[in-house]
Structure 1
Amino acid sequence: MTVTSFYPVLMTTDVATTSAFYRRILGFEVTFEADWYVSLRRGDAELAILDHAHETIPRGFGRPPAGVILNLEVTDVDAVMAEMPSDVRVVLPLRDEAFGQRHAILEGPDGVLIDVIQPIEPSPEFAHAYAV
């Protein structure tokens, strides 16, 4: 199998608002836009937003996401969080994790969590868990 792309598609009740959030807060740019679907890109990262009631969704599966975390790895999480607009809800403030991350978690539309991560040196307890 030759994979040419792999990216999340978030179903939502409000495509315009959800798309605007990812463009305004995370700097994504539109690569395709319809009233029912928006494809976004920032560098190599892709994300799509889809109306949960669209006809292409199999019956019984069209619901906004629950229990989803999107990881956004950055080079300087402190700088990203310092520039975060005040209307964005931070549900986990900046902190260092022994497993090798400095991160903060934001709440996006439909309750999707966005984990803004900067890799840091893991503690000796976790260093062995990383593939070489």
Structure 2
Amino acid sequence: MQESKDFYTRLFGCHVIFESDWFILLRLGNSDLGFMLPDLQFQPPIFQCALAGKGVWIAIDVDDVVSEYERIAALGVPIEVELRSEAWGDLHFAILDPNGIGIDIVEHHQPG
């Protein structure tokens, strides 16, 4: 969990709302992002499973995706999907967090 905390605070300026040895809650913009150790018997079953990052991604909207791309690349973070423009108008790139969750960093535009 320390690696996740470091990743999100360093790259996206998240603030720690709560932290313990089994759980961390981060503030990301207007949303919260939580990480919990798996198999904690005192938690409801829905929160006990370990997540391998399959089929889950987080989209982070930014005003200037080119600047974010340059900043994150300069930090040495591997870029999984290079900066690209999509037919539906998005300009984006993607990275992986330490848990294998895809992070899609997006600047929205109207298709043109």
> TM-score band (shorter)?
0.7 to 0.9
Structure 1 residue aligned with 2:32: 46
Q: Secondary structure at the match of 2:17?
A: strand
The Cα offsets for residues 68-125 of structure 1, whole Å up to 9 and x where unpaired, read as 11000000001111111443121101010011200001111121000000001213xx
Query: Residue 102 of structure 2 aligns with which residue?
Result: 113
Q: How does 1:44-123 map to 2 (within 5 A)?
A: 44-55=30-41, 56-58=43-45, 62-64=49-51, 65-84=53-72, 85-123=74-112
How many residue pairs match? The answer is 109
The residue identity in structure 1 corresponding to 2:17 is: T
Following superposition, the deviation at residue 18 of structure 1 comes to 1.2
AA at the equivalent of 1:22: Y
CA-based RMSD of the aligned residues comes to 1.9
1:32 is the counterpart of 2:18: yes
Q: TM-score, normalised by structure 2?
A: 0.87
- CA shift, 1:31, in A, is 0.6
Moved more, 104-113 or 43-52: 43-52
TM-score (norm 1): 0.74
Please say which structure displays the higher CA radius of gyration.
1
1:6-46 deviation line (CA, Å, top 9, x unaligned): xxxxxxxxx11112111111110101011111111133122
Structure 2 stretches lacking a partner, 5+ long = none
Identity %: 29
Cα contact 1:16–1:35 (8 A) shared by 2: no
